Amino acid sequence: MSPKLSKPLSPGDVITQDMPFIHVLDVEFKGKYCDNCLKQSDQLKRCSKCLYMYYCSKECQKNDWKYHKNECKLYGNHLIQMMINDKFGALWFRLYLSVQKIPTFATKKYRLFDGSDVSLRDISVDVSAASDAMRSHCQDICEIH
């Protein structure tokens, strides 16, 4: 059964809101916004190991650790540094490591707008449609890993 709207929609109305299943902060906002909750703050604390991630609180650092623990020790690598300074490189890197290292990451189900549940495993990607930059990142990751 389709849900009923309580009033007609207008431009700008929020229809749905959800957290992304994975995210990274754009390089240009590094050190200005929390890497976990994305709030702006001038009181951010850096990850003491890699000095690359910034968090507004211990709780945010703790919440991000399930992803960041896979990246943290690799951030000293020169190739990785080049990759994560690119807009999509850091996201690719985090996604790749999460699929590899977090057992339930690729199989966890997410609810779609139509009510169906889907996991990353259920999604097929046409690799030939990927941009040269994305293909290059994938090759870099495979060489480093």
State the residues that interact with Zn ion by CB under 5 A: 34, 36-37, 47, 49-50, 56, 60, 72
Which residue type is seen at 143? E
Q: Which is nearer to Zn ion, 72 or 106 (CB)?
A: 72
Coil, strand, or helix at residue 55?
Answer: strand
Q: Which of 14, 15, 57 is nearest to 39 (CA)?
A: 57
Q: Which is nearer to Zn ion, 62 or 87 (CB)?
A: 62
| d(C-alpha 69, C-alpha 72), whole Å | 5
Q: How far is the CB of 85 from Zn ion (least distance, A)?
A: 15
Q: Give the pair of three-digit tokens for residue 110.
A: 């997410």
Between 50 and 120, name the residue whose CB sits nearer to Zn ion: 50
Tally of CA atoms within 13 A in the half-sphere of 13 that contains its CB = 8
Minimum Å distance from CB 23 to Zn ion? 12
* CA–CA separation, 40 and 25 (whole Å): 11
User: Among residues 79 and 130, whose Cβ is nearest to Zn ion?
Assistant: 79
Closest distance to Zn ion from the beta carbon of 86 (Å): 19
Minimum distance of Zn ion from residue 61's CB (angstroms): 8
Are 138 and 92 a contacting pair, CB within 8 Å? Answer: yes
